[in-house]
């Protein structure tokens, strides 16, 4: 009898099993990350200016929340092994910076790496996962991007599971972004570990093409869209496919920026701006804050679009939305304009992921153009338009009944 009592006591003393914090990303996270525009040139003045600009530009009101410092913020570890911020770049310290960002109504994000060193050669988290998680919690971190450089012979699922458990043990709810580049198919195992996972290598400031570096490549918008069209079933509330931060405002044309942003919204992608928020054209602001396009991305169903058809370099994408609505995006992959004449009655859309079907010959929908911001008829008549090169027409369909 004593043995049974002792065994029961030991069992009851075991800690609760670690898990990821749930409910933090029921819609795709929205925010800003420093890497695409600034690389290693980060400091506390830049981050404060960005937080100020996120509020002043209207991005906060449009739904953007996270201000994320990517690589190169790191200093050395102290005598106990706790990571410190670079004292020259961040002289006030990370807790003070987090307090500044939180006071603006925003959330604070940070970066680390599963390897010994980050991609830029700063101290990584390997062997220090639980200490780093405790430090992030002390600093008031709300979002962690966790990279995959210098991880020779590590098991990806195991490495990310370790940091997930460390974050949970630290006790502060933190959105966990798995930046593993899709090499180990994180969509198959990431749902119970992180809130989003990268599905490709880094994006580049190019709409259609590949930028080759020493031993690796960054990819154009179209290349990333094409890489993973067969994994939409793995995304949903609290677990998102991530095609990388956005390049809107970093040098592509307005048409290309609009198409890039629209397709990220159609793909239910995290919307992480990657430009200089303190120096934006009005066109860039208008793209990033288009609330009707953002509403497609943030739709409560959390279902990615499907590629319904492709003809003469024009893709037609359909995304099921809540309350019986659909989003439709015509994407012109060519550099020359294309004439669109879409006869709705000739099309049926079947989405097995959403368990939704629409037969336009039998159902009528009102049509709203989300960039022109106006009603453009109903589906009982063909939709005709001229679509410029590397641009989109993005529509929202609403049942007439």
pLDDT at position 131: 98
Q: Is residue 142 part of a domain?
A: yes
Can you tell me the distance from the alpha carbon of 173 to that of 29, in angstroms, rounded to the nearest whole number? 14
Same domain, 313 and 223: no
Last residue of a domain, one of 269, 297, 325: 297
Residues 257 and 132 in one domain: yes
Angstrom distance (rounded) from CA 389 to CA 391: 5
Task: State whether 267 and 373 are in the same domain.
Answer: no
* Distance (Å, whole) CA 361 – CA 343: 10
How far is 43 from 72, CA to CA, in rounded Å?
Answer: 9
Q: Which of 70, 113, 142, 147 is catalytic?
A: 147
In this structure, what is the dihedral angle of CA atoms 348, 312, 221, 201, given to the nearest 10 degrees? 80
Do the domain assignments include residue 126? yes
Single out the catalytic residue among 70, 165, 202, 276. 202
Would you place residue 229 in the very low, low, confident or very high pLDDT band (cuts 50, 70, 90)? confident
Give the helix ranges, DSSP H, for 14-68: 35-38, 44-56, 59-62
Q: Which among 93, 293, 269 has a CA at the least distance from the CA of 177?
A: 269
- Model pLDDT for residues 65-113, shown as the tens digit of each residue: 999 999 999 999 999 999 999 999 999 999 999 999 999 999 999 999 9
CA-CA distances (angstroms) from residue 181 to 9, 33, 115, 238, 343?
44, 17, 14, 19, 39
* Cβ neighbourhood burial of 312 (10 Å; 0-12, 13-18, 19+): exposed
Q: Is the pTM of this model over 0.75?
A: yes
Total length of the chain? 401
- Tell which wins on pLDDT, 216 or 173: 173
How many CB atoms neighbour CB 369 within 10 A? 17
Q: Is the pLDDT of residue 254 over 90?
A: yes
The answer to whether residues 152 and 272 belong to one domain is: yes
61 and 144 share a domain?
yes
The Cα 325–Cα 236 span in angstroms is 17
| Residue 155 maps to a domain | yes
Angle, helices 44-56/94-103, rounded to nearest 10 degrees:
10
Total structural domains in the chain? 2
Q: Considering 268, 297, 326, which residue would you say is the last residue of a domain?
A: 297
Contact 141, 152 (CB under 8 A): no
Contact 257, 248 (CB under 8 A): yes
Alpha-carbon span 310 to 388, nearest angstrom: 16
* Single residue among 237, 267, 297 that ends a domain in this structure: 297
For residue 82, give its domain range: 30-297
Same domain, 227 and 82: yes
Q: Please indicate, yes or no, whether residues 217 and 279 belong to a single structural domain of this protein.
A: yes
Decide if 300 contacts 350 (C-beta within 8 A). Answer: no
266 by Cβ neighbours in 10 Å (0-12 / 13-18 / 19+) ranks as buried
Tens digit of each residue's pLDDT (9 = 90 or more) over 139-173: 999 999 999 999 999 999 999 999 999 999 999 99
Indicate the helix (H) or strand (E) that contains 5. helix 2-13
The answer to whether residues 206 and 129 belong to one domain is: yes
Chain mean position to CA 347? 31
Is residue 9 a part of any domain in this protein? no
* Whether residue 284 is found in the same domain as residue 313: no
Do 215 and 117 fall into the same domain?
yes
Identify which of 233, 225, 299 has the alpha carbon closest to the alpha carbon of residue 259: 225
CATH number at residue 325: 2.60.40.1180
CATH of residue 194's domain is 3.20.20.70
366 touches 395 (CB < 8 A): no
pLDDT at 194 over 90: yes
Q: Please give the structure tokens belonging to residue 343.
A: 């006869």
Q: Are residues 62 and 189 in the same domain?
A: yes
Q: How far apart are the first and last CA of the chain?
A: 69
Confidence of residue 12 (pLDDT cuts 50, 70, 90): very low
For this structure, is 276 an active site residue?
no
Asked if residue 265 is part of any domain, the answer here is: yes
Q: What is the mean pLDDT of residues 24-46?
A: 98
pLDDT higher than 80, residue 343: yes
Residue 21 belongs to a domain:
no
Average pLDDT of 28-49?
Answer: 98
pLDDT recorded at residue 1: 39
Q: In the annotation, is 202 catalytic?
A: yes
Check whether residue 185 and residue 52 sit in a common domain. yes
């Amino acid at each position: 009898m004593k043995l049974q009592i002792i065994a029961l006591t030991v069992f009851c003393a075991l800690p609760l099993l670690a898990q990821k914090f749930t409910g933090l990303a029921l819609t795709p996270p929205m925010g800003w990350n420093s890497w695409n525009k600034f690389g290693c040139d980060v400091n506390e003045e830049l981050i404060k200016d960005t937080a100020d600009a996120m509020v002043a530009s209207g991005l906060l009101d449009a739904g953007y929340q996270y201000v994320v410092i990517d690589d190169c913020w790191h200093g050395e570890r102290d005598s106990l092994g706790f990571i410190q911020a670079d004292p020259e770049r961040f002289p006030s310290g990370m807790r003070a910076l987090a307090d500044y960002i939180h006071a603006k109504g925003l959330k604070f994000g940070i970066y680390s790496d599963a390897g010994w060193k980050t991609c830029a050669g700063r101290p990584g988290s390997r062997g220090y996962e639980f200490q780093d998680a405790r430090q992030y919690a002390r600093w008031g971190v709300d979002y962690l991007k966790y990279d995959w450089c210098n991880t020779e012979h590590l098991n990806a699922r195991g490495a990310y599971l370790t940091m997930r458990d460390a974050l949970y043990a630290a006790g502060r709810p933190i959105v966990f972004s798995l930046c593993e580049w899709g090499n180990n198919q994180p969509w198959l195992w990431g749902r119970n570990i992180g809130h989003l996972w990268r599905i490709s290598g880094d994006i580049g400031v190019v709409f259609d093409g590949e930028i080759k570096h020493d031993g690796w490549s960054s990819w154009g918008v179209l290349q990333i869209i094409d890489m993973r069209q067969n994994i939409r079933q793995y995304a949903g509330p609290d677990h998102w496919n991530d095609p990388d931060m956005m390049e809107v405002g970093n040098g592509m044309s307005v048409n290309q920026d609009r198409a890039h942003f629209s397709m990220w919204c159609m793909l239910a992608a995290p919307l992480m701006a990657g430009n200089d928020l303190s120096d934006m054209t009005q066109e860039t602001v208008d793209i990033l804050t288009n609330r009707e396009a953002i509403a497609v991305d943030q739709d409560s169903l959390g279902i990615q679009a499907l590629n319904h058809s492709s003809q003469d370099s024009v893709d037609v994408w359909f995304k099921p939305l809540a309350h019986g609505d659909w989003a439709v995006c015509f994407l012109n992959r060519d550099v020359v304009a294309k004439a669109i004449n879409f006869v709705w009655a000739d099309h049926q859309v079947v989405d097995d992921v959403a368990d939704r079907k629409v037969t336009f010959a039998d159902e009528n929908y009102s049509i709203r153009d989300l960039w022109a911001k106006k009603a453009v008829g109903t589906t009982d008549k063909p939709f005709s338009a001229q679509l410029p090169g590397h641009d989109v027409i993005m529509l929202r369909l609403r049942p007439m009944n």
